[in-house]
Amino acid sequence: MKATLAILTIGVVPVSEVLPLLTEHVSEQQITHFSLLGKLSREEVMEDYAVGEGEDPLATLLSDGKLAHVSRQKIERALQGVIEVLDNQDYDVILLMSTAPVKGLSARNAILLEPMRIIPPLVASIVDGHQVGVIVPVEELLDNQTVKWAALEHTPLYALANPFWDSEAKLIAAGQELIDRGADVLMLDCLGFHQRHRDLLQKALDVPVLPSNVLMARLASELLV
């Protein structure tokens, strides 16, 4: 029986960019993409997921190409509901394509891959004491970074560049800023970054670059063999 993969995203994520990494081992017909908010209008999203009293805001990209702040708690509940449906549909692997700080998700049968749980310790083991510079897409995500990268031996440095609306020059400038401040490994901490951005930085700056989505896609592809 052929292994099947469900890719689950919160908002708009360019899933097509990681498909070549996944289809090295399985056909595209075995991969299905589900987006919680990606096909909804901004009005529909805010009607169901607006930040309520005592809830934490979560930044996500909507179908209008702009960021929205939604309730992390409501998103977690909705994601868990989708995961349970996918689990009952007998998917072998569920890949959460999001670096958002969501918690408490679980699957009974499928292997659930969560970047927030997997990427930080994986990167810590890869860099092994090197100074990491993290490129973050929006300023709103900086508050979550300290806890996220606690496993690193050295406190990471941060710079801003967005894969959706910033230029290549802006991305290179962000990478150069981090190197000038002492970074010798760059981390692209947004699933909108992909191999093209990694190759651009490595060629321009001659420094190792780790994109979150490539790491997750490689791991998922190994589980689909």
Is the predicted pLDDT of residue 39 greater than 80, yes or no? yes
Instruction: Give this prediction's pTM.
Output: 0.85
Average pLDDT over residues 162-184: 93
Give 1's pLDDT tier (boundaries 50, 70, 90).
Answer: low
Task: Give the Å distances, CA to CA, from 152 to 13, 127, 129, 146, 198.
Answer: 27, 8, 7, 10, 21
Task: Give the Å distances, CA to CA, from 199 to 25, 29, 87, 172.
Answer: 23, 28, 36, 11
Average pLDDT over residues 172-194: 92
Of residues 79 and 67, more confidently modeled: 79
Task: Give the Å distances, CA to CA, from 69 to 55, 56, 212.
Answer: 11, 9, 22
> Percentage of the chain with pLDDT > 90?
52
Which residue in this structure is represented by tokens 């958002």? 100
The reported pLDDT for the residue numbered 105 is: 95
The reported pLDDT for the residue numbered 225 is: 63
Average pLDDT over residues 140-150: 82
- Contact in structure between 114 and 220 (CB atoms under 8 Å): no
Strand locations in the chain, DSSP E? 5-9, 31-35, 57-61, 67-71, 93-96, 111-113, 132-136, 157-160, 185-188, 209-211
Task: Give the Å distances, CA to CA, from 11 to 6, 58, 129, 180, 201.
Answer: 15, 11, 34, 33, 26
The reported pLDDT for the residue numbered 67 is: 86
Q: Mean pLDDT score of the chain, rounded to an integer?
A: 89
The reported pLDDT for the residue numbered 112 is: 94
Q: What is the pLDDT of residues 154-163, one digit of tens each?
A: 999 999 998 8
The token duo for 207 is: 């420094």
Average pLDDT over residues 131-146: 85
| 186 phi/psi in degrees, rounded to 5 | -110, 140
For the ranges 27-31, 63-67, 157-161, 189-193, the one whose mean pLDDT is highest = 157-161
Rounded Cα distance between 31 and 18, Å, is: 11
The reported pLDDT for the residue numbered 55 is: 94
The token duo for 105 is: 């998700």
Q: What is the pLDDT of residues 199-208, one digit of tens each?
A: 999 999 999 9
Is the predicted pLDDT of residue 95 greater than 80, yes or no? yes
CA dihedral 164, 165, 166, 167 (to 10 degrees): 90
The reported pLDDT for the residue numbered 25 is: 66
Average pLDDT over residues 113-136: 89
Name the least confident of 7-16, 109-118, 178-187: 7-16
